[in-house]
Chain A
């Protein structure tokens, strides 16, 4: 019976069309079981999400109620012993700073590469390049971490000395020498890590720009840059924003690359180039092995904060994408 199929490759029609045929009265037992199974899986997913929120919150409440200091403003992490005092101020600072540095570097470069692949590269090169970028997105983060710690860090001290010479007066870029295992290095490494994902989403959006828009601009005598500025970038703006948010979500939650590169300490450093600081994920990974049960609860509490932050960032990205879908659907 399965051979009764047409060979015509029709464009995917809305799936709803075929559905009315079966929603008749007599529901076969097989159908009921299958529907139950597939609906059950969907519900299981929801249950898992809810369980994550509930259990993390539960353990966090245990930890925060045992905290003798303010959980949000304390600049220390001492979750063992009889007088636990710990707070996420340093972690929040480090996470935000390293992610901001990462995005400041990655987004312009990623948009550049995406434009390069979609509009500048020779035709023959562009699809293999897109392929390679997708492959690079799959490189495990621990390998970025290993490379960052053993290759990138030694190569950055020269650049940091130079930054210190010319921009040291700002305070942000002062550098005391030594290994460049600082939040700024983490930012650079995170930028390299999120580059492939931001690039591949942006490239897809740029490739969707209606050909007519570009050709109209070209016909009016626009240069290639003017075409990009007037038809490609306005069309792709929301796509780039949501790609950046997805990248930001990755950068915020990245653990191993930060844990290998950063030399952590619980202080807020005004200079980004000097070692010190920490991020949520890195702190969990490096403090975990020596933590007792209460210490693990404390780490879970910091993980909950990270969870909430990434949820907000990802939710915002999805909203932007969803809005854009409606918009471009109407336009196309």
Chain B
């Protein structure tokens, strides 16, 4: 690019004025027409060369379109515009490339999941249903997931909340810095490592058996940093005037936090906790190591193996029969619906109860 910014003023003597201030542009219909041509040519080449995968046809068409646009623009509009158009193409292609698998993922889950999903599937456990035959359900998995996630939330939410309060309202000095740093580090712990930790302490050293509670502890480890982070962000949004007003009236600090700061940010905190729940509800690895999975309903999360939805999906996939694949997809659909609903509700709350300063 040749931008001459450092000259004080552009005098007429510097360069001859261009005859026209507009330079040649490709007409607006060029990209769609070119796209059509490229798609046609891609299909033609694909058919002609006998390529069996339509993915390859698409790739050829995309390449043709990109290079066609670049060449045309370079010829008509000049190099800079050609580069600009090339970049636009690439950005659009990146977007489309990403949309295809993600849309396919959702579509496949819904399409294949609805096959066996009905009231019976939701209200019955696997029981004695043979793996290769149709039938059975996910009731035991739903119960397990709800109990494990609930217990994990009971452990993680108070600790996370109080830690965030400490960091925002009290935290100074080295302890606060260390906590901040390790919360960040904790966010990155792979779920399987959290599972291995509980395995080594709870099962290998303390000698307990697999149970829903063991899984909950691992899930709580994964959940804590998420709760701390989001709560911290929310508490920081509470206007300081609110705290000062309360303190100036002689209200103790702890009551200020409980009665002013928390009510003001309760919407955002709820959102954060729900997003964290959504995140751990889909974790499979720790559950695989610590809860083991079961075929029947076990209402007691503190004793014996339990089932959970993500683990159920995995185990049904492992069975490898058509019937079990169908069940896996249906359970996946239930799981995805659960997570998505949590997400949507959480974000709805965030929007509805955004800190507005004066709420109490």
Residues in chain A within 8 A of chain B (CB atoms)? 1-10, 12-15, 17-19, 21-22, 28, 30-31, 33-35, 37-46, 48-49, 51-52, 55-56, 58-59, 108-113, 115-116, 119-121, 131, 134-136, 138-147, 149-152, 155, 158-159, 162, 192, 195-196, 199, 220-226, 228, 230, 246, 249, 252-256, 259-260, 281, 284-285, 288, 293, 296-297, 299-300, 303, 306-307, 310-311, 313-315, 317-318
Contact = CB atoms under 8 A, between A and B. Distances in A.
A27 B146 CA distance: 42
B182 A158 contact: no
B167 to A, nearest CB: 7
Contact of A1 (B81, B84, B246, B257): B246
B36 interface: no
The 8 closest A-B pairs by CB, nearest first: A140-B282, A253-B190, A112-B94, A158-B53, A314-B188, A7-B358, A34-B254, A38-B166
Interface in B170-207: 170-171, 175-176, 178-179, 181-194, 196-197, 199-201, 204-205
A113 B92 CA distance: 8
15 contacts: A9-B357, A14-B240, A18-B243, A30-B252, A41-B166, A120-B91, A138-B343, A192-B98, A195-B102, A225-B87, A226-B80, A253-B192, A259-B314, A303-B192, A314-B188
B317 A155 contact: no
B249 A4 contact: yes
A59 B284 CA distance: 23
A112 B95 contact: yes
A158 B56 contact: yes
B215 to A, nearest CB: 14
B353 interface: no
B170 A38 contact: yes
A6 B243 CA distance: 10
B260 A141 contact: no
Interface stretch (B9-17, B121-129, B273-281): B273-281
B332 interface: yes
B253 interface: yes
B41 interface: no
B206 to A, nearest CB: 11
A285 to B, nearest CB: 6
Contact of B108 (A49, A147, A255): A147
A249 B190 CA distance: 8
Which of under 10, 10 to 19, 20 to 34, or 35 or more describes the interface residues of B?
35 or more
A313 B98 CA distance: 25
A39 B192 contact: no
B240 A151 contact: no
Contact of A55 (B160, B200, B343): B200
Given A143-B109, A281-B192, A28 B252 contact: yes
Contact of A141 (B90, B188, B253, B282): B282
A315 B179 CA distance: 14
Nearest to B258: A34
Given A2-B263, A41-B158, A135-B340, A158 B243 contact: no
Nearest to B278: A138
B285 A226 contact: no
B179 A33 contact: no
Contact of B163 (A41, A116, A143, A228): A41
Contacts of B356: 7, 9
A116 B190 contact: no
Contacts of B56: 158-159, 162
Given A41-B158, A120-B91, A138-B343, A1 B52 contact: no
A120 B188 contact: no
Contacts of A221: 3
Given A109-B94, A222-B3, 13 more contacts: A9-B239, A13-B240, A22-B247, A45-B163, A49-B182, A140-B281, A151-B105, A162-B51, A195-B102, A226-B80, A285-B288, A296-B199, A303-B193
Nearest to B346: A138
B240 A10 contact: yes
Contacts of A196: 102
B349 interface: no
Given A42-B166, A226-B1, A310 B188 contact: yes
A19 B243 CA distance: 9
A110 B182 CA distance: 27
A6 B263 CA distance: 14
Contacts of A150: 108, 317, 325
B333 to A, nearest CB: 9
- Residue from the set A134, A141, A317 with the largest chain B CB neighbour count within 10 Å: A141
A22 B190 contact: no
Contacts of A119: 91
Nearest to B80: A223
Contact of B193 (A22, A34, A199, A307): A307
Interface in B318-336: 325, 328-329, 332, 335-336
A116 B91 contact: yes
Contacts of B339: 138-140
B252 A4 contact: no
A95 to B, nearest CB: 11
A192 B172 CA distance: 40
B205 A55 contact: yes
B151 to A, nearest CB: 16
A141 B284 contact: yes
A159 B55 contact: yes
Interface in B193-230: 193-194, 196-197, 199-201, 204-205, 221, 224-225, 228
B185 A314 contact: yes
Contacts of B358: 5-8
A10 B285 contact: no
Contacts of B88: 120, 224-225
Contacts of B275: 138
Contacts of B244: 17-18, 21
Nearest to B178: A46
A119 B88 CA distance: 10
Interface string B73-98: 00000001101101110111111011
B71 interface: no
B137 interface: no
B104 interface: yes
A291 B325 CA distance: 27
